[in-house]
């Protein structure tokens, strides 16, 4: 179990370094710029894609049997992706968008008031708007 946790953490760290950081002396940034729009360069821009490749050697750290290697590989990459999402890397995609002035977001909130209610749409929009500002 400890080796799996270490493999996930190491995969997240290396993947995050390569996909999202400039590195010491901007070394990683220059390397990404050198790769440009090649398939490897595009791979470096995608945390989820890159984590699959980084997880391969980490899977060998966890297991050496072929069937276990495949599951360990996918689980380690998945764990790194979850850490990225929880840690703020991709979490912004999961957060609700800010509402425009006067816009009412009642699609998933049936408890919000509609235009036909006596309370009025403006008060409802103000309450919802304050949740996201």
Residues 64 and 113 grouped into a single domain:
no
Q: Are 48 and 108 in the same domain?
A: no
The predicted-structure confidence for 19-45, as pLDDT tens digits, reads as follows 989 889 999 999 988 998 888 888 888
In angstroms, the CA 10 to CA 16 distance is: 10
pTM of the model: 0.63
The reply to whether 19 and 48 lie within a common domain is yes
Full residue range of the structural domain in which residue 80 is found = 2-94
Q: Are residues 43 and 89 in the same domain?
A: yes
Bigger pLDDT: 98 or 16? Answer: 16
Q: How many domains does the chain have?
A: 2
SS3 of 40-96: the string is HHHHHCCHHHHHHHHHHHHHHHHCCCHHHHHHHHHHHHHHHHHHHHHCCCCHHHHCC
Note whether 43 and 104 are same-domain residues: no
Among candidate residues 79, 72, 68, 40, the one with its CA nearest the CA of residue 56: 72
pLDDT at 112 over 80: no
Residue 10 has pLDDT above 80, yes or no: yes
Determine the pLDDT at residue 37.
Answer: 86
21, 86: one domain: yes
Measure the CA–CA gap between 130 and 105, rounded to whole angstroms. 12
């Amino acid at each position: 179990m400890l080796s799996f946790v270490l493999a996930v953490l190491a995969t997240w760290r290396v993947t995050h370094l390569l996909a999202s950081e400039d590195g010491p002396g901007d070394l990683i940034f220059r390397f990404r710029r050198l790769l440009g729009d090649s398939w490897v360069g595009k791979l470096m821009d995608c945390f989820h894609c890159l984590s699959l490749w980084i997880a391969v050697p980490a899977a060998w750290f966890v297991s050496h049997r072929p069937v276990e290697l495949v599951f360990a590989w996918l689980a380690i990459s998945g764990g790194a992706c979850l850490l990225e999402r929880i840690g703020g890397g991709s979490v912004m995609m999961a957060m609700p968008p800010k509402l425009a002035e006067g816009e009412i977001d009642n699609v998933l909130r049936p408890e919000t008031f509609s235009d036909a209610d006596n309370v009025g749409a403006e008060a409802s929009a103000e309450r919802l708007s304050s949740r996201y500002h």
